[in-house]
């Protein structure tokens, strides 16, 4: 029996799926740890992790056991009923956050941000201040909070009363927030922009500004949360009113969460919001397995150490002008707008990376990435740049 090749699958993909993402780069058929294989048998080190989703990599036994075990017991119930995994996960997330509050489960990060956007309207205000370069999803509400013109323009007018300010500029933030502002929305580290860190004190300043005007402070931790930066949450020493989570939460099983801290957790009343699949017992069991594995395998410490090693190695090449990030959320700038070529060269050498802008590379590998995986990538890195920059000998 002849198995379809990557080319076969891509032809069928082009003929049957909407072209919302452009042509797929490969057709992947299986994975193990931080490695995946395509339909032609080629192996890759996955340094993107489904864009920060595959926290435990691929085919992790704890995740497989949690999903299959829960599905064989109780797969789905409506929101007229409660389940143990749903309650345990909510309690666990509040414990990790170290705050009292309430959790609303969704199916994705965009949906978590949609829920939070609606929650802010319960303040009686409509104005939201968000940051330039921020990314919060592509549904209509989440898109209204996302500044990138290429995403917004085809769908305008968008809902909301949103003001965008430069990320990291506390003075600009203070000037934009008024007594009519419902919420200030920030990513503790901007992911889609190419891993951009704010200056020291910025998040604390945002807290102070929001409090002065009676506005909610909302941190979008969809990409940065659940161990990605070597900590459970990227924000530290600042208490937000709302936190949204998704990507790594269930290691690839669809789930999102919107946490309302303190009084913000009680803004929604029965009938204000809902979702069919949010809080699904299987998704919640998967998330509990991810959280317990991160704890039991000391992955936060592993992420911190390995991330530093990876950043140091990447920065050693003079064609890299800056390396940023925390843990295993890493962005780097190139001397030339060659990120697409670097992506293609890396893929040819068996490494999956991401090029969010013409001159930036983003890495968000599984938290179970190994020292050997990092060594292999750093060994290939000069050659990848040689080929991408047209400097082969």
Binding residues for N(2)-acetyl-L-ornithine: 138, 275
List residues bridging with 357 in a β-sheet.
360
Let me know if 371 is a catalytic residue.
Answer: no
Can you tell me the distance from the alpha carbon of 116 to that of 145, in angstroms, rounded to the nearest whole number? 11
Strands (E), the chain: 28-32, 35-38, 43-46, 101-106, 127-131, 161-165, 181-186, 216-220, 242-245, 256-261, 320-326, 329-334, 351-352, 354-357, 360-363
- Can 81 be counted among the known catalytic residues? no
Secondary structure letter of residue 196 according to DSSP: B
Given 38, 219, 241, 247, the catalytic residue? 247
* Vertex 264 angle, CA 258 and 267, to 5°: 95
**Cα angle 299-187-263, degrees, rounded to a multiple of 5:** 95
What is the spatial distance between Cα 133 and Cα 192, in angstroms, rounded to a whole number? 8
As a whole number of angstroms, the distance between CA 354 and CA 64 comes to 27
Output the known binding site: 109-110, 135, 138, 220-223, 275-276
- Which residues lie below 8 Å from residue 88, measured CB to CB, with a gap of 6+? 284, 288
Task: Measure the CA–CA gap between 156 and 365, rounded to whole angstroms.
Answer: 34
* Helices vs. strands in the chain: H and E counts, helices first: 13, 15
Q: How far apart are CA 389 and CA 241, in angstroms?
A: 46
Tell me if 287 sits within 8 A of 280, measured CB to CB: no
> Out of 38, 46, 220, 241, which one is annotated catalytic?
220
The C-alpha atoms of residue 55 and residue 320 are separated, in whole angstroms, by: 27
Active site residue 247: yes
CB-based contact 55:294 (threshold 8 Å): yes
Of 105, 117, 135, 268, the active-site residue reads 135
Binding site for pyridoxal 5'-phosphate, by residue number, is 109-110, 135, 220-223, 276
How close are the terminal C-alpha atoms of the chain, in Å? 43
Q: What is the CA radius of gyration of the chain?
A: 21
317 vs 40: CA distance, rounded Å:
32
Residues with catalytic function: 135, 220, 247
């Amino acid at each position: 029996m002849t198995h379809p090749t990557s080319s076969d699958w891509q032809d069928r993909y082009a003929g049957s799926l909407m072209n919302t993402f452009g042509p797929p780069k490969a057709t992947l058929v299986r994975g193990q740890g931080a490695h995946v294989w395509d339909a032609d048998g080629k192996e890759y080190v996955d340094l993107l992790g489904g864009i920060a989703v595959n926290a435990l990599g691929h085919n992790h036994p704890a995740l497989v056991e949690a999903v299959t075990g829960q599905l064989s017991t109780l797969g789905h119930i409506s929101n007229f009923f409660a389940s143990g995994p749903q309650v345990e996960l909510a309690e666990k997330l509040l414990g990790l956050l170290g705050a009292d509050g309430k959790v609303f489960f969704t199916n994705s990060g965009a949906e978590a941000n949609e829920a939070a956007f609606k929650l802010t309207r319960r303040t009686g205000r409509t104005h939201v201040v968000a940051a330039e370069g921020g990314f919060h999803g592509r549904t209509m509400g989440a898109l209204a909070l996302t500044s990138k013109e290429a995403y917004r323009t085809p769908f305008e007018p968008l809902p909301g009363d949103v003001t965008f300010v430069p990320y990291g500029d506390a003075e600009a933030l203070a000037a934009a927030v008024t007594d009519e502002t419902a919420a200030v929305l920030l990513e503790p580290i901007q992911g889609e922009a190419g891993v951009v860190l704010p200056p020291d004190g910025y998040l604390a300043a945002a807290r102070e500004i929001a409090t002065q005007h009676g506005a909610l402070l909302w941190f979008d931790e969809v990409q940065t949360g659940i161990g990605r930066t070597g900590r459970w949450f990227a924000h530290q020493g600042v208490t937000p009113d709302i936190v949204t989570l998704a990507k790594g939460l269930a290691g690839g099983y669809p789930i999102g969460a919107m946490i309302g801290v303190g009084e913000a957790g009680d803004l929604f009343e029965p009938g204000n919001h809902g979702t069919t699949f949010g809080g699904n017992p299987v998704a919640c069991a998967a998330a509990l397995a991810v959280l317990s594995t991160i704890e039991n395998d000391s992955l936060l410490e592993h992420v911190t150490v390995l991330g530093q090693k990876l950043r140091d190695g990447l920065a050693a090449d003079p064609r890299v002008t800056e390396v940023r990030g925390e843990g295993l959320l890493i962005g780097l700038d190139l001397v030339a707008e060659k990120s697409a070529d670097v992506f293609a060269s890396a893929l040819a050498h068996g490494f999956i990376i991401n090029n969010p802008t013409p001159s930036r590379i983003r890495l968000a590998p599984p938290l179970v990435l190994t020292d050997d995986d990092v060594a292999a990538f750093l060994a290939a890195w000069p050659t990848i740049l040689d080929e991408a920059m047209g400097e082969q000998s």
